[in-house]
Chains A and B, each alone.
Chain A
Amino acid sequence: MYPRLTKGRVAVAGNRKLHFGKKYEATASQLSKDYNVVDHTYDAVVVGAGGAGLRAAFGLVAEGFKTAVITKLFPTRSHTVAAQGGINAALGNMEEDDWKWHMYDTVKVSRKPPVSDFIRKGGQAHRCCAVADRTGHSLLHTLYGQSLKYDCNYFVEYFALDLLMEDGECRGVIALCMEDGSIHRFRSKNTILATGGYGRAYFSCTSAHTCTGDGTAMATRAGLPNEDLEFVQFHPTGIYGAGCLITEGCRGEGGFLINSEGERFMERYAPVAKDLASRDVVSRSMTIEIREGRGVGPRKDHVYLQLHHLPPDQLAARLPGISETAMIFAGVDVTKEPIPVLPTVHYNMGGVPTNWKGQVITHENGKDKVVRGLYAAGEAGCASVHGANRLGANSLLDLVIFGRACAHAISQENKPGEKIGDLSPNAGEASVSNMDKLRFANGAIPTAALRLELQLAMQNHAAVFRTGDVLKEGVVQVSKAYGKMKDLKVSDRGLCWNTDLVETLELQNLMINAMQTIVSAEARKESRGAHAREDFKDRVDEIDYSKSKEGQKPKPIEQHWRKHTLSTQDVETGQVTLKYRPVIDVTLDEAECAHVPPAIQSPVSPSGVLRDATPERSLPNPSLDRNSDDEHMGFKDYLGAFFTVFAIVGSAAAYMYNTAHPNALHPFPKRTDALSSAEDLRAQMSSLKSQLYEQLAKWDEIQKQREASSEQFSGSLCCKELRADISELISRVGDHDLTSIAKELNDLKVAHDDFRYKSSEQSCGVKLEDLENVVESKIKSLKISQPVASYDVGSSGNAAYDYDKTGKPDYALESAGGSIVNTRCTETYRNSYSVNKIFGIPVWWWRPKPREVLNPDMTPGRCWAMSGTSGSLVIRLSMPVIVTSVTYEHIPVQISVIGNIDSAPRAFSVHALRSDRDFEGAHLGNFEFDKNGQPWQTFNVVNVPARPVEFVEFKILSNWGHPDYTCLYRLRVHGDLTMRPS
């Protein structure tokens, strides 16, 4: 507020008086135990204004219900805003799709361990509707805008304290207005909880600081159960401290994790797939490293993700967002330092149990019972659509579906302005007392300290690495932290914007959530979805679904774990009571869409085609689902082997290239160096060979496993071929028969493509398009990184041009670093339209600066349009080379301004310039284009320059002097490297 200036005293900055002076600070009214509680009455109250809350509110006001939305944050600041991925919808606009397939995927994912992002991505991309990476942002803003159109009452920056329960039904909520500390009771016929998750119960989470599970805690305090809180989805790499996600693509690009000893520890846990192992394997390995004391940092509680061994330009091109995020949130320059990361909470599958209408339920005497007047949606609710693990891009879908479902259920069963049951006069007194108690809490532990203690206990004991001892120890630690709530210290006694108080209230909520999570996790003695226990690695269903159903007697519910956990808690003592609820197996309308059985014996469809694309089929053939987890893991190993082979093949390619073109690429100017490097090369070759053998052995083993399993795997034939190719390759490596290796490599790639094609017909755990993406990117990165190991030629350009026809890279290629620097004394077009029209492609027309042109039909590069018959072009090569040849490629186009005349190139001369300001330069030769020859023609330079040249000028004569002709050329410059570039 305003500093009070007293006579004769100067107000000093830093000694701000936030209140009006001592006189008024501790008046009776300020410290009074009496609180004024304002009563409001509405048809419906929504707690939380994130996606689900807004969707519900918007649905309610549209139906004419008087609705209040209570939120501790301004609506557009909710965590929904941060959802990047997208929202799933089987629109079928990209390719054939069906919502039943979506359901199938959701169910499948819900049962199995988390899948790596980069495995999942492509598979969903076509079902995933997105607004760039700001889907949540745009969804939330749209919803907020919509709800403002109607008459919706927002109570922004009101902190909901408790539900008001009367006779087992919910009649509203009590909330604290954070601005002035006033308390409000909202009496309403229906209340919707949409408060989000409780990621902040863990030390590292991707969610906002406000995700403190207020709704679930309120339900607990109201004596209601929470469901499946032990299922928490983790992401392996969040930035330490901030929790921001570092995409798994980083590891796809070649990044890896290291521990405090600088060891690349994933090699120990997943010798084959290494850092590309599945999400849960990576997360668990990281946690084990940390637990065994090999973590980094002062607390030794995280590890490093190293990227700086990758070329900086690759980082800049492929991971620009990561570079930025790492700099902002970890202060790390990814080209020089590793990023501190640890497994991070991503989503809470559990929450307040609801039915499909969003109505909150309890489970009594073997039956679900609706809690009247109470609904839940979004991350706070648990309709169990996510099961034990959430499919990517399904969270936003959850929001809109259950937000809408709540609104629908309310509008179906109620009318606006209906009579509402009375509140007892003392309703909410307990909440007020609780708040007052915390406000005057006078113990020893500051809120922030206790919160950190809780978060660390949860992070260390209830994160990804779950085993009996660890969880038990965690239960003890969290209970201890719970007990310390009585010894809290809150320093602010005020009421206006008392953030200390609000954080303490939030801590109370976090405690409740954390306690139930860890107790539920300790009790669940199996591995299912995101809950993976080291000591109980298998899923325990009522029958063994890997075998035929017949003859198996289902176990009673006490003996298996295919059931929901329902946790209630004595808030005073922290004691958690667990009950269990059977899973609902059938869909709402089995006739329309049959349920997906948990796992199935395998009747292979007669055709042998595993996933039929016809929409008449009700569901994808479930035969694949048998032991989907094992299948999945097996496939992962398989993939890993694949990658490794490709890595080896890639390095073989590099060696081969080195040896085949000693002049072109040999970096050693001296003979002795060359000799020693040859030795080195030989040694490397032999190690390569042994690596290949090793790989082959692994390959065989995997193959054997595959064959042993009864499943038919359509890719296996291909794999055999591939295997043969590899052994062939081994023998070639031994013989130093390098040219044939090159050919072999190519064939291998073809075989691999074939494999991809065939395997894409079946849908085993991983989507095959994703596999394709991964392998593609892997191949690309190999192509980039392998030659880079020796020097930095524009190797991606090499990939595009296939080393051209000279066996030498094109140093003029733009994507490799070459550029047009000048077009002196040349006439050009001044109008982009006409140029576009003439050439049919976007070209660089008259402009002070060259324009980037990306045309799908052209290799990425700059085009530049010259008007008239002659022109000049100064090209800066990607590095200084001894120019040996130039290629003049003529792209025949049948266009000209006056009619349909073939274009006709004629001649050009090439000059080597000392700098871009050099006008004369050394003449390299005059060349004439052979009219009847190939479209591309390579000319050897006549006067090979003695020194490396960086700038080359082409003086071009086109069209045989005819002004109306038009030509399109692509120019390339080849040469030898003489020295190692600095």
Chain B
Amino acid sequence: MTRDARMRSGLQRQVLSVYKRSLRAAKNKPGFYENVRSEFRRNAAAVAKQDVMHIEHLLRKAEKKIKLMTDEFVQSVRTVRATDRPESK
């Protein structure tokens, strides 16, 4: 175990473990790998380190997503862009 690892809080370790499991689950499902990565990066940048509740919420979401990705009937994920959204006033 590196020195860095020992310095991490429980929550941080949890996040990393969830991330790792997510990537593993996403392996053979097209679209998910990139999806997981980008979401992780985006949240890592956007969420403050001390915003524990939000992080816990995201963890729960991630757990759900792992469940979804490991579902044998789930094939892939793709991004669909919505067209003709009304202009906001």
Contacts and interface: CB of A to CB of B under 8 A. Distances in A.
A428 B81 CA distance: 11
Interface in B37-89: 42, 46-47, 51, 53-54, 57, 61, 64, 68, 71, 73-89
Interface stretch (A31-39, A51-59, A546-554, A813-821): A31-39
Contacts of A2: 53
Contact of A38 (B74, B81, B85): B74
B80 A437 contact: no
A440 B54 CA distance: 25
Contacts of B61: 180
Contacts of A35: 79-82
Given A29-B42, A440-B88, A442-B89, A37 B77 contact: yes
Nearest to B32: A38
A425 interface: yes
B35 interface: yes
Contacts of A187: 75
Contacts of B35: 36
A66 interface: yes
A4 interface: yes
Interface residues on B, range: 20 to 34
Nearest to A438: B86
A40 B84 contact: no
A911 B53 CA distance: 81
Contacts of B54: 20, 24
A428 B80 contact: yes
A27 B46 contact: yes
Contacts of B78: 36-37, 39, 425
Given A2-B53, A20-B54, A39 B76 contact: yes
Interface in A34-49: 34-42
A477 interface: no
Contacts of A38: 68, 74, 76-77
Nearest to A429: B80
A33 B81 contact: yes
B73 A433 contact: no
Interface string A283-299: 00000000000000000
Interface residues on A, range: 35 or more
Contacts of B46: 24, 27
Nearest to B47: A24
Nearest to B43: A29
Interface string A425-441: 11011001101110011
B63 to A, nearest CB: 13
Nearest to B56: A2
Contacts of B77: 36-39
B7 to A, nearest CB: 26
Nearest to A486: B86
B80 A183 contact: yes
B53 A433 contact: no
Given A39-B76, A429-B80, A432-B80, A437 B85 contact: yes
A884 interface: no
Interface in A913-968: none
A433 B86 CA distance: 11
Contacts of B42: 29
B74 A39 contact: yes
Interface string A124-154: 0000000000000000000000000000010
A604 B50 CA distance: 91
A183 B79 CA distance: 10
B77 to A, nearest CB: 5
Nearest to A182: B68
Interface in A1-42: 1-2, 4, 20, 24, 27, 29, 33-42
B73 A66 contact: yes
B73 A41 contact: yes
Contacts of B76: 38-39
A39 B47 CA distance: 29
Contacts of A41: 73, 75
B80, B81, B85, B86 pick with most chain A CB within 10 angstroms: B80
A35, A38, A183 pick with most chain B CB within 10 angstroms: A38
Given A40-B74, A41-B73, A34 B53 contact: no
A416 to B, nearest CB: 13
B73 A440 contact: no
Interface in A601-649: none
A370 B45 CA distance: 53
A252 B24 CA distance: 70
A40 B53 contact: no
A432 B73 contact: no
B73 A68 contact: yes
A567 to B, nearest CB: 27
Interface string A743-776: 0000000000000000000000000000000000
Contact of A37 (B57, B68, B80, B83): B80
A153 B73 contact: yes
A151 to B, nearest CB: 11
Contacts of B81: 33-35, 429
Nearest to A432: B80
A4 B48 CA distance: 13
A20 B54 CA distance: 7
B68, B71, B74, B85 pick with most chain A CB within 10 angstroms: B85
A433 B51 contact: no
Contacts of B71: 40
Contacts of A426: 80
Interface in A426-468: 426, 428-429, 432-433, 435-437, 440-442
A281 to B, nearest CB: 48
Contacts of A34: 79-82
A256 B71 CA distance: 60
B53 A436 contact: no
Given A27-B46, A37-B80, 11 more contacts: A24-B46, A33-B81, A33-B82, A33-B83, A34-B79, A36-B78, A37-B78, A425-B78, A433-B85, A440-B86, A441-B86
Q: Which 6 A-B residue pairs are closest in the complex by CB-CB distance?
A: A436-B82, A39-B75, A33-B82, A433-B82, A432-B80, A39-B76
Interface of B: 35, 42, 46-47, 51, 53-54, 57, 61, 64, 68, 71, 73-89
Interface of A: 1-2, 4, 20, 24, 27, 29, 33-42, 66, 68, 153, 180, 183, 187, 425-426, 428-429, 432-433, 435-437, 440-442
18 contacts: A20-B57, A24-B47, A29-B42, A33-B81, A33-B85, A34-B80, A35-B79, A35-B81, A36-B78, A37-B78, A39-B76, A40-B71, A41-B73, A153-B73, A425-B78, A436-B82, A437-B84, A441-B86
